Structure 1
Amino acid sequence: MLDKTIPYAEIWMIRLLELPVIEQHLPEGFHFAFYQEDDEVEWAAIETAVSEFEDTVQALDYFEEKFAPHLKELQKRMVFVINSSGEKIGTCSAWWKETPNKERYPLIHWVAVKPSYQGKGIAKAMMTHTLKLLQSLEHTSPVYLHTQTWSHIAIRLYEYFGFEISSKNLDGSPNLDYEKTLLILAELKNQNNS
């Protein structure tokens, strides 16, 4: 879930593509599956459940604009975690992003686990799976991940997998929120340590 009680700041994180990937496995009773036709409804439900969108209509509109033009890629890049009842409860994509000058970089995209399944190691297993997918599908380094201070709990997960907060945006321009990000995260760390 996003923590919208703290100030917002945009964050880009990076890690080298070729770094070894920490092995984390799904708990018993869960399995991975790739996107299939009509799974956008499940994707929208998961992303809305973690407050990335106000409602599923907004999430589906985003999906239609950003993902729908790449249906063949989705079938080998968008991953779902499914529970023993067949419910899709988590998702993550081994995506890519292009800079304005057409350089292409690997991207971990839209990491989300339904709130009632958080804290069970599912996100860690998704990160392992998705990073390995990127290593097999992409050849440009580093891997990027876009997030925000509202996802401060997830940032610890990303750091566990070797991501570091970057002072630059994907296109190489300065991230104007970088200093603000460091201050917010340091303040949260101090609060948690006291």
Structure 2
Amino acid sequence: MLDKTIPYAEIWMCREREWPVEEKALPEGFHFAFYQEGDERDWAAIETAVAEFDEEAKAIDYFNEKFAPFPQALKERMLFIINDAGEKVATCSAWWKDTPDGKRHPLVHWVAVKPGYQGKGLAKAMMTRTIKLLQELEVTSPIYLHTQTWSHIAIGLYQKLGFEISDKNLDGSPNPDYEKAMDILAEIEQRKD
């Protein structure tokens, strides 16, 4: 769940593609599945549940614009975690982003776990599986991840998996939010002490 009680600042993180990652198993009662036609409704429900969108219709519009044009890639790159009741409770994509200079960059995209299922190790298992997928599917390095200060709890997980906060955007340009983001994260850490 996004913590919208703190100021927003954009964050880019990256890790070397070649760095090893130990795949974590899902807890009992859960399994992975790749996207199948019609799963966009589940994707929208998950992303709306964590407050990435304020309504599912907006999430569907985003999906249709950014993901739907790549039906084969969806079947190989968009992961879901499903519980024993058949409910999709988490999602993440081993995606990519093209930059204007013609380069393609591996991207961990739209990590989300429904409230009520957070804190069970699902995100860690999903992230390690996604990193492994990117290592298999992509040839360039590093692997990028776009996030924000509202996801400060998840940033700790990303760092444990080798991602480092960058002062640059994916295209190499300076991230104008970098200093603001670092100040916000430092303030959050001070409150914990």
The TM tier, using the shorter chain, reads: over 0.9
Q: 1:45: which partner in 2?
A: 45
> Any idea what SS the aligned residue of 1:116 has?
coil
Q: 1:142: which partner in 2?
A: 142
| Residue range with higher mean Cα deviation, 78-87 or 17-26 | 17-26
Q: Report the Cα offset of residue 166 of structure 1.
A: 0.3
TM-score, normalising length: structure 2: 0.99
Residue type of the partner of 2:71? L
> Any idea what SS the aligned residue of 1:117 has?
coil
Q: 2:119: which partner in 1?
A: 119
Residue type of the partner of 1:119? G
Q: 1:60: which partner in 2?
A: 60
- The whole-number CA distance in structure 2 between the counterparts of 1:150 and 1:156 is 12
Q: 1:182: which partner in 2?
A: 182
Q: 1:10: which partner in 2?
A: 10
1:20 matches 2:14 = no
Residue type of the partner of 1:158? Y
Q: Report the Cα offset of residue 24 of structure 1.
A: 1.4
1:91 matches 2:71 = no
Residue type of the partner of 2:178? Y
Structure 2 unmatched ranges of 5 or more: none
Would the aligned equivalents of 1:40 and 1:63 in 2 still touch at CA under 8 Å?
yes
Structure 1 unmatched ranges of 5 or more: none
Give the number of aligned pairs: 193
Q: Report the Cα offset of residue 25 of structure 1.
A: 1.1
Q: Report the Cα offset of residue 102 of structure 1.
A: 1.1
TM-score, normalising length: structure 1: 0.99
4+ residue segments displaced more than 3 Å: none
Would the aligned equivalents of 1:93 and 1:111 in 2 still touch at CA under 8 Å?
yes
Give aligned-pair identity as a percent.
70
Q: Report the Cα offset of residue 23 of structure 1.
A: 2.8
Residue type of the partner of 1:7? P
Residue pairs, 1:99-178, within 5 angstroms: 99-178=99-178
